[in-house]
Structure 1
């Protein structure tokens, strides 16, 4: 039986990851969105294991020229007992 249960009081590091387009002036490519989602999955599957603390979902309706554009994104707040080394290796500190 595992003894390392999740306790909110043990969280010492929180990583905020934006998945999607949150800025109409700087649109992200599909590859960049997929890389952000891969980072979320890495945080939840690697050691130390991260825990989803919160997911912020948002959208915006923008007029760019004569076009209306809807941008959607989700922000994952992932908590860790300590800062993972793989974030430093990927330049995501």
Structure 2
């Protein structure tokens, strides 16, 4: 592997919550990395969750981090 792309899917920062559209966009990027040319391979998946107190409310945030490896950097990642 010469290039590894790290993609966060979900909310990992309680101060900067991602919208549903941003989460869906990240998942579409993971799918594009795995299905287009050059084909990427999942090297690792980190799954995490956290309990946070925001004001009087307790919030649970979950996210997954995909590490996708490539033989060379795909051109479609430069477009972003």
Relative to the length of structure 2, the TM-score reads 0.99
Aligned residue number for residue 85 of structure 1: 75
Q: Which has the higher contact order (CA 8 A, sep 6+)?
A: 2
Q: Which among 13, 28, 52 is matched to residue 3 of structure 2?
A: 13
CA drift at 1:56? 0.1
Q: Which runs of 5+ in 1 are unaligned?
A: 1-10
Q: Which runs of 5+ in 2 are unaligned?
A: none
Q: Distance in 1 between matches of 2:32 and 2:7?
A: 12
Aligned residue number for residue 54 of structure 1: 44
Q: Distance in 1 between matches of 2:72 and 2:18?
A: 30
Q: 2:57 aligned with 1:74, yes or no?
A: no
CA drift at 1:87? 0.3
CA drift at 1:44? 0.1
**SS of residue paired to 1:52:** strand
Task: Number of aligned residue pairs: give it.
Answer: 80
Relative to the length of structure 1, the TM-score reads 0.85
